[in-house]
Chains A and B, each alone.
Chain A
Amino acid sequence: MPAKKKSVASKLRLGIQLVFLLLITLISVNHGLSETGIQIPFVGNPSLHGICPFGGVVSLYQLVTTGSLVQKVHEASVVLMALVFFLAVLFGPVFCGWVCPMGTVQELIGKLGKKLFKKRYNHFVPSRLDGYLRFLRYGVLVWVVYVTATSMKLVFSDVDPYYALFNFWTGEVPLTALIILGLTLIASLFIERPFCKYACPYGALLGIFNIFRIFGIKRNQNTCINCKACDRACPMNISVSTSTTVRHHQCITCLQCTSETACPVPATVELMAGNFSLEAKGAQKVSTEGGAQ
């Protein structure tokens, strides 16, 4: 089956991603300019730490125990954390797939990687090793939460490529964060969203919502022609074609696998509540886990 030409859904997603990327870039530049008296109109100038939803997560322990937030984190982070959690309960990690500028930058570099390596792109890491490595980010999550809770400092900023990406010109970014950013950007030429897959603690946390989200990625087995176009389209290498409901912890709800985008058969892979199998005769039992390819 020939690949579909770029769908409206793909363009829409790229557009939204670029809007958020531009917004965060402008905010960061504005923050840097704030001490000079120059300001970009209609854009705020908060520190990125102050509007990072993950800042709310790492502050939770301190917030509960002392009523205060970790240094550099502000109330806006807690608000964003709650909003992203709300979206995650509904749709899983849509923040990762549609909003996160770090993910967007990795994807943009990945487009170059796709041109360079064609089909080999995003398949350099052996699948077994890849499967294990993907749990690394949970280790990072536990480490970050624990160390932040005990030190009451924003320790992750020392290694955070997201902060480094939008502040590298300020001279405030620790060398370790710059190195991790560099490695991430280079790795993005070979692997789709390498930081998201292997190291992002926030992605790890949001990924848990895939287990119980209300609207899931569902595949209609009755109409599926098993062309595996969904598998090939998935940036996170999830095997959609073997699932009836994708509950893989790395799904980012990018909709690249759906009938709006990669799937050539209408109403076969969809973001939906409810289940195809309820009305399809002879449908197989719902799979609860889609493995990575």
Chain B
Amino acid sequence: MKVFVKSYVLVGIIVGTLVIGIGGAKALGWWITASQKVAKKITTGDFAGMSDPADLRGSYTFADMEKNYGVPVSVLAQAFGYTDVPDPSLIKAKDIEGRYGTMGDKEIGTDSVRLFVALYTGIPYPPKEESTGILDTAIKVLRDLGKLTDEQIAQLQPRLVVTQEQNTESPASASDPKVPETKTSDSGETGVPQKVPAATTNVDQTQPVAATKGTGSDGQSVSSTAVSNSQTQRTSPATEATHTPLPQTSSENLIRGKTTFAEVLAWGVSKAQIEQVLGKPMPPEQTVIRDWCLAEGLEFSTVRDALQKLKP
């Protein structure tokens, strides 16, 4: 049997297929063209079926975090200092990076939010970077909610960043004699959160003791941050480093808040390699990478990690 298809019939079939197909998909709820902001689930272990904090993205708003992880917007707002904004539910994780960023040798950004959410939910999450910090306000909120033990608070000390507002009394330590005291830097400008680099140098941050284990959505094994006594004992007194912000050492080839493109080029990385990471022409060499990311609306930590990998 022969069946001829003329051009106008073909057009009808093409357009009809697309219109009916897309319409049907919409009716069935399959026509999704934007991220639903649904975090991946942990697939194995004690936390199987729960949303994985590791999958929290910079684009997630506080509202998205509440939906995914059950952390109330008000708690997040209090933890990250957004109590004075009209609608904190719209604050994105990457906004926190823009507000705080690198402070001394610690960084408050999306990974800090992941860590906070993990501590709130009790889901194990080893921060992606040693430099990941956690605000004193966040620890205060967690402690007040009974989400942290004293041991956990002590273990978090190496990551602690004290805000200017808490200058006179560190919430993480004021009422807790077991927590080493922390203070803000003398040189801090008014209104600018300051990192206290206290008690960071002598602490091995890479050894969280696993109380429970599971497999994250990215396939990596995750472990809880139960406290290691040895870590607590090795934590140095805050006074040792309180007034001495750590230098931005380019010699370590680490990208930090003040690192410029020129410093990355000085590693021996080519401009072409950098542009490949950026996906666009490199700005003038003296441009601070973090400032450029903020201006371009990019997540600094993502760009930083990609550039870091270029290190010869």
**In the complex, A278 Cα to B1 Cα: how many Å?**
9
With A260-B7, A270-B4 in contact, do A50 and B34 touch (Cβ < 8 Å)? yes
Asked if A174 lies at the interface with its beta carbon under 8 angstroms from chain B, I say: yes
**Interface size, chain B (Cβ < 8 Å):** 31
Say yes or no: A44 contacts B4, CB within 8 Å: no
Asked if A272 lies at the interface with its beta carbon under 8 angstroms from chain B, I say: yes
Say yes or no: A76 contacts B5, CB within 8 Å: no
Q: Which residues of A contact B11 (CB under 8 A)?
A: 12-13, 16, 98
Q: Contact flags (1/0) for A1-17 with B, using CB distance below 8 Å?
A: 00000001100110010
Q: Which residues of B contact A83 (CB under 8 A)?
A: 17-18, 21-22
Q: Which residues of A contact B85 (CB under 8 A)?
A: none
| Residues 29 to 84 of chain B near chain A (Cβ within 8 Å) | 30-35, 40
With A98-B10, A175-B279 in contact, do A87 and B4 touch (Cβ < 8 Å)? no
Asked if B2 lies at the interface with its beta carbon under 8 angstroms from chain A, I say: yes
Asked if B275 lies at the interface with its beta carbon under 8 angstroms from chain A, I say: yes
**In the complex, A275 Cα to B33 Cα: how many Å?**
42
Instruction: Decide if the interface of chain A is mainly helix, strand, loop or mixed.
Output: helix
Q: Contact flags (1/0) for A148-179 with B, using CB distance below 8 Å?
A: 00000000001000000000000111111000
| Residues 55 to 91 of chain A near chain B (Cβ within 8 Å) | 68, 74-76, 78-80, 82-83, 86-87, 90-91
| Residues 169 to 195 of chain A near chain B (Cβ within 8 Å) | 171-176
**Which chain B residue lies CB-closest to A261?**
B7
Q: Which residues of A contact B13 (CB under 8 A)?
A: 87, 90-91
Q: Contact flags (1/0) for A127-139 with B, using CB distance below 8 Å?
A: 0000000000000
A-B contact count (CB 8 A): 113
Q: Contact flags (1/0) for A259-292 with B, using CB distance below 8 Å?
A: 0100000010011111110110000000000000
Say yes or no: A255 contacts B31, CB within 8 Å: no
Asked if A94 lies at the interface with its beta carbon under 8 angstroms from chain B, I say: yes
Min CB distance, B274 to chain A, in Å?
11
Min CB distance, A192 to chain B, in Å?
19
Asked if A99 lies at the interface with its beta carbon under 8 angstroms from chain B, I say: yes
Asked if B280 lies at the interface with its beta carbon under 8 angstroms from chain A, I say: yes
**Which chain B residue lies CB-closest to A68?**
B40
Asked if A46 lies at the interface with its beta carbon under 8 angstroms from chain B, I say: yes
Say yes or no: A274 contacts B5, CB within 8 Å: no
Min CB distance, A262 to chain B, in Å?
13
The answer, among A16, A47, A270, for a CB contact under 8 Å with B33, is: A47
The answer, among A8, A173, A255, A276, for a CB contact under 8 Å with B10, is: A255
Say yes or no: A271 contacts B4, CB within 8 Å: yes
**In the complex, A258 Cα to B35 Cα: how many Å?**
44
Q: Which B residues lie at the A interface, using CB under 8 A?
A: 1-8, 10-11, 13-15, 17-18, 21-22, 25, 30-35, 40, 275-276, 279-281, 296
9 further interface pairs, Cβ-Cβ under 8 Å (given A83-B21, A158-B276): A12-B11, A44-B33, A79-B22, A80-B21, A86-B21, A87-B13, A173-B280, A272-B2, A273-B2
